[in-house]
Amino acid sequence: DVKVTQSSRYLVKRTGEKVFLECVQDMDHENMFWYRQDPGLGLRLIYFSYDVKMKEKGDIPEGYSVSREKKERFSLILESASTNQTSMYLCASSSPRQGATVEQYFGPGTRLTVT
Amino acid sequence: AQSVTQPDIHITVSEGASLELRCNYSYGATPYLFWYVQSPGQGLQLLLKYFSGDTLVQGIKGFEAEFKRSQSSFNLRKPSVHWSDAAEYFCAVGAGAAGNKLTFGGGTRVLVKP
């Protein structure tokens, strides 16, 4: 069974703090993704990575950066947290070895509140 | 760019009744289409997916979805809802290699009345 874990379920940070959200997957997946989930907006892709040290911007990358130093770990970084980054953050992973259509496996999410 | 619309934000259904969730997409090529479910406090779980072949797709937990190209729709159905089906449901369209880059709809929250 694929397992995607996220370092915290709940996080409270102050405006201007640097915030790290960590995601680890245990299935040797090449692809990893960070989304934010807001009511009525569904999930929006922030960044994704197809390989170690590779990253690509998603639809809403502003105010975020990512790091992928090891295949199993993908970190989302908020350089200077702001209140409009209060949200639920979901990590996902997938592998092109799955075949024709690639399923993404999701972690439980981190609910971040910036005050 | 692709987009997904789920017109119903909330749906309330009685236990044992049928359920249909609507999804309309916009995408220039043949779409990869997915339905995910998110139970309270959980991550997303894939219910079913479609790329090609039979337009009626069977998924887990008794769900099915029908792809209608002429209507740009991929509606999700279940004949008889159980209380455990109360959750939020997301439709997504995939682009890129093997539909890997997903664009999600806003979600439909399903409440189940006893």
Q: Are the C-beta atoms of A53 and A32 separated by less than 8 Å?
A: no
Which amino acid does the sequence have at A8?
S
Cβ burial of B44 (10 Å; 0-12, 13-18, 19+) is buried
Q: Cβ–Cβ of B9/A40 closer than 8 Å? A: yes
∠ CA(A20), CA(A25), CA(A28), 5° rounding?
Answer: 130
Per-residue model confidence as pLDDT tens digits over A64-98: 999 999 999 999 999 999 999 999 999 999 887 66
Q: Are strands A87-94 and A105-106 parallel, antiparallel or unpaired?
A: antiparallel
Rounded CA-CA distance B98/A99 in Å is 8
For residue B25, what is the DSSP state? Answer: E
Identify all chain A residues contacting B42, using CB atoms and an 8 Å cutoff: 108
> In this complex, is the C-beta atom of B74 within 8 Å of any C-beta atom belonging to chain A?
no
Identify all chain A residues contacting B94, using CB atoms and an 8 Å cutoff: 101-102
Which amino acid does the sequence have at B93?
V
Q: Is the model's pLDDT at B5 over the cut of 80?
A: yes
Closest listed residue to residue A25, CA positions, set A110, A92, A103:
A92
Q: Is the model's pLDDT at A36 over the cut of 80?
A: yes
Q: In Å, how far are A20, A60, A115 from B72, measured between CA atoms?
A: 39, 25, 42
Q: Which chain A residue lies closest to B90 (C-alpha atoms)? A: A42
Q: Cβ–Cβ of B107/A48 closer than 8 Å? A: no
Q: Cβ–Cβ of A96/B98 closer than 8 Å? A: yes
Contacts with A, B 8-27, CB within 8 Å: 9
Alpha-carbon Rg for chain B in angstroms: 13
Q: Cβ–Cβ of B49/A94 closer than 8 Å? A: no
List the structure tokens of A32.
């990893």
Q: Cβ–Cβ of A40/B43 closer than 8 Å? A: no
Name the residue with higher pLDDT: B30 or B66.
Answer: B66
Rounded CA-CA distance A65/A94 in Å is 20
Quickly state the pLDDT bin for B29 (edges 50, 70, 90): confident
Per-residue model confidence as pLDDT tens digits over B51-68: 888 899 999 999 999 999
Closest listed residue to residue A104, CA positions, set B79, B21, B36:
B36
Q: Cβ–Cβ of B44/A99 closer than 8 Å? A: no
CB-nearest partner of A103 from B42, B46, B97 = B46
Quickly state the pLDDT bin for A6 (edges 50, 70, 90): very high
For residue A97, what is the DSSP state? Answer: G
Rounded CA-CA distance B4/B93 in Å is 7
Q: Are the C-beta atoms of B27 and B21 separated by less than 8 Å?
A: no
